[in-house]
Amino acid sequence: MDKKFDVVIVGTGAAGLYAALNFPESVNILLVSKRELQLSNSSLAQGGVACVLDTVHDSYKLHITDTLIAGKYKNTLSAVEKLVTEGPSDVLKIKDLGVDFDLNEDGTMCKTLEAGHSRNRIVHHKDSTGKAIVDGLIAKVTQLKNVTVCDNALVYSIDKVLNGFYISILRNGEKLHYGCNYCLLATGGIGRVYKYTTNSAIATGDGIAFAYMLGARIKNLSRIQFHPTAFAADHGRERFLISEAVRGEGAVLLNCNGERFASNYDSRGELAPRDVVSNAVMLESIKTNSENFYLDITHKPADFVRNRFPMIYERCLEEGVDITKDRIPVFPCQHYLMGGIDVDLHSRTTVEGLYAAGECSHTGVHGANRLASNSLLEALVYSRTAALDITDKINKFGRRTLGEEPVYRPVEGKTMPHGCRSKIREILQDAYFVLPKPEKYEESSKQIHEIMSELFAEKYEINSDLVEARSAAIVASIIFDEIMEGTD
């Protein structure tokens, strides 16, 4: 063991960073980032954070109701109530920490509307709220004397022992082994398990896979959200998002004939929840025999569009689209995970000492479909909850001696077969997209399990390719097991 910490936090999105800020200085923390600190799904979040800050024109009850409706009433009510009632104080706290939210002339936070919300309650920083939050939190975390940051570090195994864990990391070709009494997984989503996703390159489900191998309960992993308006690029797996807020500000969705169609499928039209709009696009695609769809906000003043959505404006320009003059080509793609590592209201998993927060966790908040801009709020509320619960346990039980270190296998080995991850992505994209194909489940599941058996049977070289391929295989196998067993 190179060093023992009280807590190891794996992941540096909003959940991991905010958790670190909620520990007292007496708690010794290792914060691990697979790549650079700034790379996370959180930093890509555009729209904002949903929270009730104005109880005159809005209410907790309305926010809870909107969340339940979007989630098809499959949400865990107690988790939603915790999210909605505790979230506003966390939003105000990160504002006080220096996160730059857009403000009105009177100093109050600007609030916009997004699909599924009955009130304007989305606070934001233009169209790059996630980046503003992550950058603001990084600035504070890197000043903390009790936090050791380990970036560009690949976690390749987590071993459970008496009173804690041993975390094995590869960094700059060096093997490192750290001990801890408590481990918080904040590793984000699974987007890179799909062929096309809005997620960052590191979203490969690693934390979920490690938790699964440790025996933690994984729940509702098949509840995957497909965003209806990702930019329909001609190349690349990562599709940048055209935020829900664009529709909230009046953009309309058009088919290949330039016709609005969303209201033909739901009375809420473009502002229906994401799954409803995605389904509408796919059904309209079948009807028109075309995958050409567009968002149109050209009827709004050009200065307003550029000032409200500067990042989207610039990013679209790079693709040759001026959103003040041109329609934006869009199509659904994988965006978010509602299921994950099952946790209770204290962010505890079913494995003693193991916690999870953010997109990799399953709090039950989102039900069958996440309401827009509830994700960053969940990351804040439940990561703070994890930090407070771990701190209580450290105060109660002290720093306990870890059990014996495991025998570590060599990282050297055979070269992993080429194409495993690509095959997994193709299988999921084909069989389990917006409109699933149940007739393909059995064969798809068989193929995934064969790939997984191959990846774990041989002693391959441990590197990022192997770790991420194994994670993808585990995630895909759980998804197919769930949908075939009907456990969702």
Q: Mean pLDDT over all residues of the chain?
A: 94
Residue pair 449/424 in contact by the 8 Å Cβ criterion: no
Q: Has this prediction a pTM greater than 0.95?
A: no
pLDDT, one tens digit per residue, over 88-123 is 999 999 999 999 999 999 999 999 988 889 999 999
* Spatial CA neighbour of 33 closest among 174, 151, 139, 137: 151
pLDDT, one tens digit per residue, over 10-31 is 999 999 999 999 999 999 999 9
User: What pLDDT, on the 0 to 100 scale, is given for residue 41?
Assistant: 72
Looking up tokens 């960053």 gives 376
pLDDT, one tens digit per residue, over 359-417 is 999 999 999 999 989 999 999 999 999 999 999 999 999 999 999 999 998 899 999 99
Residue pair 84/50 in contact by the 8 Å Cβ criterion: no
User: What pLDDT, on the 0 to 100 scale, is given for residue 235?
Assistant: 67
3-class secondary structure per residue, 221-290: CCCEEEEEEEECCCCCCECCECCHHHHHCCCEEECCCCCECHHHCCCCHHHCCHHHHHHHHHHHHHHHCC
Does residue 65 or residue 243 have the better pLDDT? 65
User: What pLDDT, on the 0 to 100 scale, is given for residue 245?
Assistant: 83
CATH class in words for 410-488: mainly alpha
Residue pair 61/379 in contact by the 8 Å Cβ criterion: no
Return the amino acid letter for 117.
Answer: H
- Measured CA to CA, the distance from residue 124 to residue 221 in angstroms comes to 29
Q: What is the mean pLDDT of residues 165-185?
A: 96
Q: Show Cβ contacts of residue 72 under 8 Å, excluding neighbours closer than 6 positions.
A: 367, 368, 369
- Dihedral sign for Cα 460, 464, 466, 467, please: positive
User: What pLDDT, on the 0 to 100 scale, is given for residue 164?
Assistant: 98
Domain ranges of the chain: 3-49+127-189+338-397, 232-332, 410-488
Q: What is the mean pLDDT of residues 236-255?
A: 86
Among 274, 384, 425, 470, which one carries the catalytic annotation? 274
Q: What is the mean pLDDT of residues 300-312?
A: 94
User: What pLDDT, on the 0 to 100 scale, is given for residue 237?
Assistant: 59
Residue pair 210/341 in contact by the 8 Å Cβ criterion: no
Does residue 236 or residue 330 have the better pLDDT? 330
Does the pLDDT of residue 63 top 80, yes or no?
A: yes
Return the amino acid letter for 1.
Answer: M
- Measured CA to CA, the distance from residue 455 to residue 467 in angstroms comes to 10
Give the Å distances, CA to CA, from 209 to 20, 341, 405: 23, 9, 21
pLDDT, one tens digit per residue, over 410-447 is 899 999 999 999 999 999 999 999 999 999 999 999 99
232-332: in CATH 3.40.50.1000: no
Residue 165: which H helix or E strand, with range?
strand 164-171
Lowest mean pLDDT among 42-46, 332-336, 481-485: 42-46
pLDDT tier at 46, thresholds 50, 70, 90: confident
Q: What is the mean pLDDT of residues 161-175?
A: 95
CATH class in words for 3-49+127-189+338-397: alpha beta
Q: Show Cβ contacts of residue 259 under 8 Å, excluding neighbours closer than 6 positions.
A: none
Lowest mean pLDDT among 56-70, 142-156, 237-251, 261-275: 237-251
- Measured CA to CA, the distance from residue 185 to residue 207 in angstroms comes to 6
- Measured CA to CA, the distance from residue 203 to residue 190 in angstroms comes to 5
User: What pLDDT, on the 0 to 100 scale, is given for residue 47?
Assistant: 80
Return the amino acid letter for 292.
Answer: N
User: What pLDDT, on the 0 to 100 scale, is given for residue 43?
Assistant: 75
Does residue 120 or residue 239 have the better pLDDT? 120
Does the pLDDT of residue 450 top 80, yes or no?
A: yes
Q: In this structure, what token pair is assigned to residue 135? A: 């950058």
Does the pLDDT of residue 487 top 70, yes or no?
A: no
Does residue 237 or residue 301 have the better pLDDT? 301
Residue 414: which H helix or E strand, with range?
none
Q: In the chain, what percentage of residues exceed pLDDT 70?
A: 99
Does the pLDDT of residue 66 top 90, yes or no?
A: yes
User: What pLDDT, on the 0 to 100 scale, is given for residue 261?
Assistant: 97
Catalytic: 308?
A: no
Count CA atoms within 13 Å of residue 216 on its CB side.
Answer: 34
User: What pLDDT, on the 0 to 100 scale, is given for residue 248?
Assistant: 87
User: What pLDDT, on the 0 to 100 scale, is given for residue 365?
Assistant: 98
